Structure 1
Amino acid sequence: MGGMADPKSALVLHLAAGGEPLLFPLAAEESVAVQEKIPDLLKHGGVHSVQTKDGNTVSVNFAHVAAAYIDDLSRKSRFGLTG
C-alpha cells in the first residue's frame, strides 16, 4: 500500500462507438508494460488482458477502441470518478 504521493496510473479507452471513456486503474509496473503495447494493439486490433490495481484481469478487444493511453489520475481532477 502506498501513500498519497503514488501515481494513480490508469488505462483510458475511448471506444470507436463513442460514449464516455473507460478507465481501468493499473498497478505501476503494469502501466509501463501496457503503454509500450498500445500502438501495436491499436494497429492490429488484438485482444489484450491487463491486470488492474485491485488484482482483477480485464480483457480488451482493441478492434473496438479508437484511442487508448495511460493517464495519471492524480495529476488533475476529474468529475464523477473516485480513486
Structure 2
Amino acid sequence: MNAASPEKPDTAVPASAPRQPVSVWPWPITLGLLTTFGLLSALLGQHGIWLALSWVALSIPLVVTVVCLLRAWRRPSFKGGPS
C-alpha cells in the first residue's frame, strides 16, 4: 500500500526493463558472420564473383558502423552537452 493514499495500491511501472540477451545479439552476430564471410572470400577467392562478394560483405559492416556513429553524434547527450 502507498502511504499517501492507503486505499489505492502502488502501480508504479519500472522505468526500463532489462533487455533479453536474445534481443541484443542478432545484429552483432550477423555483422560478425558477414565480416568473416567477407574475409574468407577475399582470402580464398582472388578473382571474379568472390572479389565482388568480399567487397560487399566487408563494406556492409563499415556502413552500418558509420550510420550508427552519425546517429549517436547527432543525438543530444543526457548529461547536458552534445555527445
How does the TM-score come out when normalised to structure 1?
0.30
Q: Which of structures 1 and 2 has the bigger CA Rg?
A: 2
Looking at secondary structure, tell me which structure has more helix per residue: 2
Looking at secondary structure, tell me which structure has more strand per residue: 1
Q: Which has the higher contact order (CA 8 A, sep 6+)?
A: 1
